[in-house]
Amino acid sequence: MARSEIILGTPPQGLGGDPPRVASTKINAMTQELYAGLATTAAPLPVNKGGTGANTAEGARATLGLTFQSSLTDETANVLMKNGAWSWGSVLGNRALDLNALNVSQAVAINSTANTPFAHGSTTVRFADGSMALALNWAAAHQQQLIFSRTTSQIALRRKNANVWQPDDYLCIYPTGQTFLSIAQGGTGGSTQATARTALGLGTAATASLTSSDSDTTPGRVLRVGDFGLGAALGGPVIGPNLAYNPGFSRFSGDEPGSPIAGTGGTLITNTVGGSYIQQIAQTPRNGINNPYIAVRHFSATGSPGPWCLFYHSGNTTRAADGTLKAI
């Protein structure tokens, strides 16, 4: 009801004011309404009138929306978590028998080796019972897990993408007092380039440049397989004999100047005694496998090639009855 004001009348006697009965009636009506609005244990004051709507602490929390988990693993959305829920703030955390069964963000202790990561570098030994795991969901069917080994300093990372678990990864942990990973941990074993090379068994060649071609003569460069014909499956680069100055193995087609037999290709071994004093040994298959053509020659001090001198051997000579050799 609306407030009923008592008319006091004109002071000091109150002439024209409400008589006592009328004033008392107004007072009774208003106090009756006030008492009707007060809560009792049988009829608690409702929330819309500033009350809790309940006569117990548990009921009051419920009507005010202060709902707690029913258990430490209650997944009901929007309820308040209890200390220890999902292992947070708990000395003794939740236990998990299968890491693949975790479907909400939580921390757990592993009571089984089911689906636990293998120890780094092993395909048979898994993280031991009692290892700890931290599971984080970022979307439905997507989860990441960090697993801390109980028996080693290893930490593994597991990822579930669209409900499919991906291969395990491992975090690198620096050993105490070190600022680098050991070779056993997949590191270089050193904190500088020099110490890392030493630990990996790399010599000075590790810092040298490779040759830029199979005929690169830059001093100090590291040779590759095939350079100057060494180890080359095709027998080395094709160079005309008159232009083959650098020591090594090469080939010629027979059309280049200086070929021992025009039109017939072959192989060439080149060396030098210094300066322009180049020496060469050439071999061609012109006369077949039983009579290889082998010749040698020497370059002059000015770099002019001398004539090819034929090797005589059992394939291109005969021995007379008196022991002398004759060319075929």
- pLDDT one-digit tens code per residue, 197-221: 988 888 888 889 999 988 888 998 9
Average model confidence (pLDDT) for the chain? 84
* CA pair distance 255, 264, nearest whole angstrom: 7
pLDDT tens sequence across 9-31: 788 877 887 888 877 887 787 77
Q: Which of 133, 131, 56, 148 is nearest to 87 (CA)?
A: 133
Which phi and psi (to 5°) does residue 208 adopt?
A: -90, 160
Comparing C-alpha atoms, which of 235, 210, 237 is closest to residue 222? 210
Cα gap 79→289, rounded to integer Å: 93
- pTM of the entire predicted model: 0.47
Query: Do 257 and 240 touch, CB atoms closer than 8 A?
Result: yes
> How many angstroms from the chain centroid is the CA of residue 300?
61
Question: What is the reported pLDDT for 309?
Answer: 94
Q: What per-residue confidence (pLDDT) applies to 206?
A: 85
Given this model, what pLDDT does residue 93 score? Answer: 64
Question: Which residue did the predictor score with more confidence, 93 or 15?
Answer: 15
Peptide bond into 241 cis (omega under 30): no
Domain positions in the chain are 85-171, 238-319
Where do we find the tokens 């030098």?
272
- Residue 1 is predicted with a pLDDT of 63
pLDDT grade for 300, boundaries at 50, 70 and 90: very high
CB 316 within 8 A of CB 322: no
Q: What is the pLDDT of residue 183?
A: 78
Instruction: Over range 233-244, report the average pLDDT.
Output: 89
